[in-house]
Amino acid sequence: CTPGTRKELLEKLENWALDKSPNTSPIFWLSGMAGTGKSTVAYTICKLLQGHKQFGASFFCSRNDESARARLSIIPTIIRQLIPNHTAYAYALRDLNLDQLAASSSHHVAELLIMPWI
């Protein structure tokens, strides 16, 4: 976001993201008409969370870019972003060829994004 804009929304998002209480919803639903700045707000909060060392990965969808709206790209994109910052995670996935992942099924989510952390 342009400096000084969306202050109230960004503060609300930051407070939500950094709130560790069990009553805090794990999902913040940001909605609005096309072109209203949702992606810009999401990008800004991702950068802010990186500064707090609270950011894992992101995937932004775009109706104008086929590769940025393909559901098959979501899991591999997130994994590629997690690996460089988490040595143990990278080690757990060392034999995985991300380019050969098929569908981003619930099996892949469990196997690739949950089990390596347990």
Burial of 99 (0-12, 13-18, 19+ CB in 10 A): exposed
| Domain chopping of the chain, boundaries | 1-55, 69-118
Residue 94: how many CB atoms within 10 A of its CB?
A: 8
**Residue 104: closest CA among 65, 61, 64:** 61
Q: Give me the tens of pLDDT residue by residue for the chain, a chain 118 residues long.
A: 888 889 999 999 999 999 989 999 888 888 888 889 998 999 999 999 888 888 888 888 777 887 777 777 777 888 888 888 888 888 877 776 666 565 546 666 677 767 766 6
Q: Quick one: pLDDT at residue 13?
A: 92
